[in-house]
Amino acid sequence: MGRPAKFSQDQILDAALAVTAEDGPAAATIAAIAERLGGPSGSLYHRFGSRDLLLASLWLRTVGRFQHGFVTALKEGDALAAALHTPRWCRLHMDEAAVLLLYRRRDLASAWPAELSRDLEALNTRVSDALSSFTGVDRERLVFATVDVPYGAVRRHLLERRPPPPLVDELIASTCRVVLRLGGSPG
C-alpha cells in the first residue's frame, strides 16, 4: 500500500491557478506550481503526468465552476440573470476569471490531453443545450446578450487586474434588455 497523497487534486489546481492568474500561462511550469504548493515536482507529475494535463484540468474545473450559474439561469428562463452572472462571478472569483477570460485553453495546454476530450465536450454541450432550450429569443441575440456583451464588459477590468465595477452590471442589463427586448429595471 502506497503513502496517502500529501496534496489533493484541488490543492494542486489551486496552486496552478495562483501562478497562472498572477504571471500568465507561460509562468505556470511544473516547477513553479510545485514551489507555490510547497511540494516536489514529482508529486505533480505523479498526479497529472504532464503540464498540459494539469493545466487542462485547471481549465475544465474553472469552466465548470463558471458555467454552473450561467446554465442554471438559462434553464430557469432568465436571460438577464445569465448575462449578469459573468460580472458577478468575476468579482467573487478574480483569479479564476482572469484565467478563464484572459486566456484561451490553447494558451494553457499546448496539446489538449486526449483523456479530457470527453469532459471538454460535455461542458460545451451543456452550454449549447442550455442556449438551445431557451425559448422566445433568437439564438444569435441570446448569445450576444448573455455571452458576448458580458465578456466584453468585464475583460478590460480583468486585464487591469481589478474587479468590474457595479456600473458594468447596469450597462450589461440595459444592453441585454434592448437586445432581447425585455422590460423591467436593472437587477
* 185 domain-assigned: no
Spatial separation of the C-alpha atoms in residues 94 and 67, rounded to whole Å: 15
What is the CATH classification number for the domain harbouring 46? 1.10.357.10
Q: What total of structural domains would you count in the chain? A: 1
Report yes or no on 1 lying in a domain. no
Percent of the chain with pLDDT over 90: 76
Q: Rounded to an integer, what distance in angstroms lies between the CA atom of residue 80 and that of residue 7?
A: 40
The whole-model pTM stands at 0.88
The helix (H) or strand (E) run that includes residue 74 is helix 51-75
The pLDDT tens digits for 129-169 are: 999 999 889 999 999 999 999 999 999 999 999 999 999 99
Parent domain of 81: 9-180
79 occurs within a structural domain: yes
Report if residue 3 sits inside a domain.
Answer: no
Asked if residue 4 is part of any domain, the answer here is no
Residues ≥6 apart with Cβ < 8 Å to 187: 80, 81, 84, 173
Residues in the chain where the model's pLDDT stays below 70: 1-5, 182-187
